[in-house]
Structure 1
Amino acid sequence: MTTAPLISVEGLHITFPGRHGAPPARAVDGVDLDIRPGEIVALVGESGCGKTTLARALLGLVPPTAGHVTFDGAPLDYSSRALKAYRKRVQLVLQDPSGSLNPRHTVYDAVAEGLRIHGHGGDERAAVTEALNRAGLRPPERFFLRYPHELSGGQRQRVVIAGAMVLEPELLVADEPVASLDASVRGEILALLLRLRAELGLSALVVTHDLGLAWNIADRVAVMYLGRIVETGDVEQVLTAPRHPYTQALLSVLPEAPGTPVVLTGEPPDPARIPTGCRFHARCQVLTSGEADTAGVADACRTRDLEVLDGGAQAQVACHWARASVAT
């Protein structure tokens, strides 16, 4: 892709103060990431890796400690007025539709809320009708006076998506958008997101721990570990031939994966105490098996940090062993 990014993150660091004198937690510890018009990027990683914090930074909800976010060629302005205008163009869809919807608001009011906040000057009823129609709630008028408790989980998530789409955003940030839904409904919601991309040219960042979801919806995947992206590239390339041991471990536990699942030992390190060298080395199956020694990179794994990966679309990996394997 040669198209200029719609949104770009460069050198992003987000640090939270430690409690009771503890060191600050480096939730996002150096990230570059581009999302181009019409592109869906999946941000994948286990809980606590920093992916939700990175997503919140894209929405302007968390100002960076260092680095910057650029949208449509201009740096993100964190003034209240600028953020209000920005959030008309960038919308959020959360994991739990029940928590996203006010139980006292009808479906009509839930979808119209964004229009009212942003001072929509057109026909509100027509805009709500169109948004519900796009979200697959047909006929839309049948849902106007319903309350969230009267809907199924899939219908509630469609209302949340309609509420985001009513403002005709250019970018959707979806944080685990199908995690709370039954398996039978997940495919419908993913198909809806793909249809919105096809019809409207919508871009999306989909935050997930589910590599199967990434496979089904994304053009590109970025795998995050302990505050940093450790592998990125075309979704088919990364998920069929993963190069980073962490990506390999994540893929190995999928039901359809060949071979023996890789069981990682221990928990991810504390983001306030990121280890020296490769941040994955304390749990790395390649290091413990002796393969890194054979490749002559074991010391580098333990002591030499890896640079931040470029935010572009090319396949990249932050791993001494994977790079040594290519070189040989």
Structure 2
Amino acid sequence: MTETQTTAEAVTTTRPTLLEARDLHVEFSSRGRRARAVDGVNLAIGEGEIVALVGESGCGKTTLARTLLGLERPTSGEVRYDGNPLTYTSKALKTYRRQVQLVLQDPTGSLNPRHTVYEAVAEGPRIHGLPDEQDLVSKALSHAGLRPPDRFFLRYPHELSGGQRQRVVIAGALALNPKVLIADEPVASLDASVRGEILALLLRLRDELGLSALVVTHDLGLAWNIADRVAVMYLGRIVESGPVEQVLTAPRHPYTQALMSVLPESPERVVLTGEPPDPTRIPGGCRFHARCQVLASGKAAEAGVHTRCRTEPLPILPATPEAQAACYYAETTTP
């Protein structure tokens, strides 16, 4: 498969695919050059599945999430929901966003301080003209763990704890009865004592409501605790993916290994040199090669792949449920 070849074939997952990116590219103009923020991504989220999208800041995670939400239009490739390509008319997007909802990382910034909890949660149903507004708000607050719901109707964000505010944000998404949540760093702004509660809530929503979720995070520990599958992103592309236990207990890509090494239980710390490259100047060969500890140590040379690492572009990974890594060295060590 060449670097630009897409997986146009149906994606095989253990669950029916609900939301999918196919050979997705998103570019922006930057100082007269084109920044390849998303540079060929295939990703599938199955029904009732939680997928964690992991990587450093600036790797393209948020741009990919915004594109899956229909907030950015792809330069090429497509987003598909329930088997159908996403179209970008106002009517189609409005219908789509009832099914795919965003949960932001900062509940304080997400909530209007002048709106009560009831008004915040009722905003979506009002925009979409849904009947039985109070019933929808009550059910959404209950599902989000704010019970009894009417006790919270007239409260304002400043009267709530950080965890309660995040639950209100989640309730605002649930009020539209979506099928997919896209959660961008959903617990990053919360105290450690509250993080587990919100993660447990997301798991309960998956179990009780059959919700699917894409959880965008830089935290592999979070991914371990919540996800069924994990996709590791570097410089606009997924470089490793698969079942969370398999990827995080035996990471094959050197970048994933480096990310894992910062966890407390890791036996060896890997310190990456330099910063992620400029997305307007993606290096040739493996896009990670300039920072790769395996290449720097001479192991890639011993395996006879060091020249390929520096010069030969890797294929775009397909959206399959099996563990996979875009790495020439990993290919030599696969049993």
Normalized against structure 2, the TM-score is what? 0.95
Q: Aligned residue for 2:229?
A: 220
1:47 aligns with 2:54: no
Question: Are residue 14 (structure 1) and residue 36 (structure 2) matched?
Answer: no
Task: Measure how far apart 1:138 and its partner are.
Answer: 1.1
Kindly report which structure 2 residues correspond to 1:1-328, keeping only aligned pairs within 5 A, or say none: 1-19=13-31, 21=32, 23-121=33-131, 123-258=132-267, 260-326=268-334
Structure 2 unmatched runs, 5+: 1-12
Deviations along 1:33-62, one digit per CA (max 9) or x if unpaired, are 000100000000000000000000100000
Whether the 8 Å contact between 2:50 and 2:212 is mirrored in structure 1 is yes
In structure 2, C-alpha distance between the alignment counterparts of 1:251 and 1:2, rounded to whole Å: 26
**CA distances 1:247-305 after superposition (whole Å, capped 9, x unpaired):** 000000111212x2100000000000000000000000000000000000000000001
Counterpart in 1 of 2:8? none
The list of structure 1 runs, each at least 4 consecutive aligned residues, that deviate by more than 6 angstroms after superposition, is: none
The answer to whether the Cα contact below 8 Å between 2:229 and 2:241 also exists between their aligned partners in 1 is: yes
Matched letter for residue 18 of structure 2:
L
Indicate the SS of the match to 1:88.
helix
5+ residue gaps in structure 1? none
Shift of 1:199: 0.4
- In 2, the alpha carbon distance for the partners of 1:297 and 1:312 equals 25
Deviations 1:85-134 (A, max 9, x none): 1000000000100111011100000000000000002x211111111111
Distance 2:212 2:106 in 1: 21
SS of 1:16's equivalent? strand
The count of corresponding residues between Structure 1 and Structure 2 is 323
Alpha carbons 2:14, 2:321 under 8 Å: kept: no
Distance in 2, Cα, partners of 1:207 & 1:326: 28
Q: 1 CA distance for matches of 2:266 and 2:160?
A: 36
AA in 2 matched with 1:287: L
Q: Distance in 1 between matches of 2:53 and 2:301?
A: 31
Tell me by how many angstroms 1:3 deviates.
3.4
Give the letter for the 1:302 counterpart: R
Counterpart Cα distance in 1 of 2:134 and 2:18: 30
| TM-score, normalization by structure 1 | 0.97
Query: Residues of 2 paired with 1:115 and 1:294: CA distance?
Result: 61
> Which residue type is aligned with residue 238 of structure 1?
V
